[in-house]
Structure 1
């Protein structure tokens, strides 16, 4: 009867037992240093001080497609480099290696026997003899093809992201322009200026303004700020602008116009997508008997307008108690009436101005008090000068402007004197 091995030193014929696997593992651990050098997972290269190749391992030869006799004693390390790599080696790599004795992690490209390029990471060390004199250079070469592919993929993704960002910026800028009037109505006897300051080019803001004719001898104006940013804010802005203009044609009373807008936005409110805004609506009527304009303003939770008088004084127009438009079915709307005399300027603005952060300043926000001081220092002024001063002010905040800002200025010019009206000779 044939005796069957019990598996202590090996399993049945054709099978490998634990002892066999242990022996093979031990054999692998006892590989010669030469074998480890030749078949290392990286390339090894030894060169003379002038770069002549003295030794190269099998791994690097396989990567490049050369025979050992093609390179050893016949080629220089620089011969393996591409034209750009050779230039870098001569002007940077080799001089730095001579000075420091070691250069680590340099990205180069080697030229294979078939002309293809092999991206690698190179580390070179100068080896010295017992007398301290340099003898040769040992270089480790790591295959960087996977790394290069990964970097190229990152660059491609970054490029696509930049292109998408540019496309979105263009889309946002184009959409923003459609939410603002291309031009403001020309009102005889009134100078008008406006400015829209964009806080972020990546998102569409919700600020808006307009000045337009109504019935003969009257004009309507409005300036507002929709809650939020982006597509939703743009949709509400568009709805608010067209509702205000349509409502003003039907009934130009400022309080009635805002009440109409409040009804529309409150009706659109679905409980999950808040649709509300702060807005001020004004009705302009010329006062021919004493010059200037009669301005009736209705405010729904909007910052008060700043009136800068011809005599150099300035103050906010009181519109207390006005509530946000669109939140409640019946919003409280505050109204005020003022005479805009020759030399006076009325400045309307959104809260992006007063809520701007003063970078490096003592106060967190610019605030209403600072704006009032600004107006008093500016008065008397014109519409264009007032808007220009606000633009300069916003620029001083730098990154402290977190929200878009819209400003609209109305100025009644002083009548020309007889001397000014006389043509020059």
Structure 2
């Protein structure tokens, strides 16, 4: 630095016009060789002055612009409309505009992305006199923004694919449609947690095991994601296979317990298995629970009770404690099987809990089994303001 505060000449690259002008205090050189474009226009946009930087960027000769073209004529149609409807009115009202992103049409036809800052000067009477505009090359910024947009689009597409995959995978854990025998009404409903982008561990199944006998399986595998999906698939198909091998629900669940210990010893699940018999005496349920909520029964007279006894969680102990229990159903009875996402649905510090579940069952008891299942899920969702905190699976049995 010199004593006057300027740059020492020996340290300045004088072949650079801008820095040479800075040292020599040459205003015209500073204007023409600035690292941004400068243009001055009349209030109607007519160009009256332009620097060499902007001419070099756009490829125009000075004589082709000064006094002959208006700045807005160098804009593509869309930006020209924006100039007339937004840029110019805002400039007249506020006296300045900042960081307006537009494109300039170069002499070659190329479009140059730029950022524009303008100030409006007025005469002594307050009338608009001149517009001074600084123009900055935004090519690299635009490329960066486009890359960000492209990355965001790819992320959204990837998320959409993941959500679709999760939905497809989750659907494989549920029957395509709940088919009821002619002597019984069965309905099922499932709602994933959140936006459904992650595979949960809740599942249910309804299938025929023989003439006059049907089975319902419902369970909740610990965890979420790919690992939970693998274990859930194992649970669903093991229960189906075991149900064809033995008529006892406790033995079916014991088979699943053994499979978990053998193939996935780090995972566990809770499950219900219900065998349904239709005999001359009526409809009988045989129930076993592996650490799962017991089925809720609403009798035709409005009284509630549970069916069965709660055994131990599957996949944890060497020998599970499982028992079979039976119950006869009468016309008008409704039995509800559900996962913990129902009663543990949260709103602030409150849970949906069993009392609200009983109310939801009572309010919908006159409906079909499918409508009751849908109503229960809808009630829990409404309680949580539409944001499911956990997966929910519900199966309803109703005796006509």
Normalising by structure 2, we get a TM-score of 0.90
Q: 1:52 & 1:319 partners in 2: Cα distance?
A: 89
Q: CA RMSD in A?
A: 2.1
In the other structure, the counterpart of 2:393 is 406
Q: Residue in 1 aligned with 2:276?
A: 284
Query: How far apart in 2 are the matches of 1:410 and 1:355?
Result: 22
C-alpha displacement of 1:171: 1.7
The aligned runs of 1:19-418 (5 Å cut-off) are 21-22=10-11, 28-199=22-193, 200-270=195-265, 274-289=266-281, 291=282, 293-317=283-307, 319-320=309-310, 322-358=311-347, 363-379=349-365, 382-396=368-382, 397-413=384-400
Q: Any gaps of 5 or more consecutive residues in structure 2?
A: 1-7
2:337 and 2:394 in contact (8 A); partners too: yes
Contact in 1 for aligned 2:308/2:326 (Cα 8 Å): no
CA distances 1:104-141 after superposition (whole Å, capped 9, x unpaired): 11111110011111111111111123454432010111
Unaligned runs of 5+ in 1: 1-18, 414-425
- Which residue pairs with 1:416 in the alignment? none
User: Compared with structure 1, are the counterparts of its residues 128 and 97 closer, same or farther at alpha carbon in structure 2 (3 Å cutoff)?
Assistant: same
Structure 1 residues 133 and 114, CA gap change in structure 2 (3 angstroms): same
Deviation for aligned residue 1:309: 0.9
Please tell me whether the aligned partners of residues 288 and 308 of structure 2 are also in contact (alpha carbons under 8 angstroms).
no
- Return the TM-score normalized by structure 1: 0.85
Give 1:36 shift. Answer: 1.7
Encode CA deviations 1:397-419: one digit per residue, 9 max, x unaligned.
23441111111111111xxxxxx
Structure whose CA Rg is larger: 1
Contact persistence 1:347–1:409 (CA under 8 A): yes
**Any conservation in 2 of the 1:345–1:381 contact (CA below 8 Å)?**
no
Offset of 1:218 from its aligned partner?
A: 2.0
Distance 1:381 1:314 in 2: 17
Answer whether contact 2:289 2:308 (CA < 8 A) is retained.
no
3-state SS of paired residue (1:214):
strand
Question: Is the contact made by 1:300 and 1:333 (CA closer than 8 Å) also made in structure 2?
Answer: yes
Report SS of the residue matched to 2:157.
helix
> Could you list the per-position Cα deviations for residues 130-154 of structure 1 after superposition, in whole angstroms to 9, with x for gaps in the alignment?
4544320101111111111111111
